Structure 1
Amino acid sequence: MVKKQKRKPGLKQSIAAAAYKKGMDLYFAKGDPDTALKYLMKAAKNGYAKAYGEIGIILNREKNRPDEAEEWFIKAERSDSLFPAARYEYGMLHYLEKDDWETGLKYLLESAHQGYELAYGDIGSIIYMYRENIDEACCLDAPQAHDYGMLLIEERGEIERGKKYLKMAEEGGFNMR
């Protein structure tokens, strides 16, 4: 009878971290989401919470499986590992796939507050599209105010109203110069 050896503490985490790193390399450097997903799943199975959001992103973006992606985003959020890019992707999933702009906006704002710049344009777009339902000034950071002001000026021709938001952006420290 062969006796199973006990693994050293931390070995499982090391294996998970290595699988995560390999998965990320495959996804970003090699452009191989299928194999990357296998490695990220292995990392997640071994409790590597950082992989949860990445899995959600790949499932949503690359595999067009929003329901499964949402499960991983929820898991990431519950483990406090929903990083800004995953938070953004989760917001876009709500906005585009679930037709829930309010929840989408919530996650996009959180992502922007965490420094994810890509979120600002989509926040401006949602505010522009659903402006009748939103107190616009309630949720605008300086870059968002700028984007919204530009949308008002360029798309709607509402120059005075747009200037109000550009001024808000400037007062908030946003400067395009």
Structure 2
Amino acid sequence: VLDLSKDNFHGHLPIDFSRLPWLEKLSIWRNHFKGLIPQTLSHCHHHQVLFPAENEFYGSIPEFLGSLPKLKFLNLYDNKLTGIILVTFTNLSKLEHLNIGQNQMYGNIPSELGSITRLQVFSLEKNKLTGTLPESLFNLSALQKLSFMTNQLTGHLPKDVGRFLPNLQVLFAAENELYGSIR
């Protein structure tokens, strides 16, 4: 475990993660780290928790994040990440928490993300996402929190959204261009 959370670190993340292949948890949230998410994190095959939220990382979300086989928790919230949402997240069969909110992501939400069956928390809020909501998201029966508020999404929610998501406790859908009726 390496926890440097809620400190005042700044600059690029200087750690060579290839020397820490057994690292299971990296928590560096609420600092001032900037730059690209380090490629050397790809050597951490035992990663279960990756928490670089509330920093100043920029660039696209690296593809290698979709190849960390034990990853359960990935929180990239409130950085300066851009680009499209990776389909490679579907390789993360153990993923339970995925938060890429408050970045500058754009494009559609890939329907393939509906195959991450263990997902309990999924947050895409405050980005620049467009298109309709994939129906596959409403097959994630383990989902407890779903947030896609403050985007530019169109279309409608399934009428029986509660029936399709029996464990859902929180749904944030405000500030989009959704329409229709729900039950």
**Structure 1-normalised TM-score?**
0.42
Quick check: which one's helix share is greater?
1
**The structure with more radius of gyration:** 1
State TM-score, norm by structure 2.
0.41
Higher strand content, 1 or 2 = 2
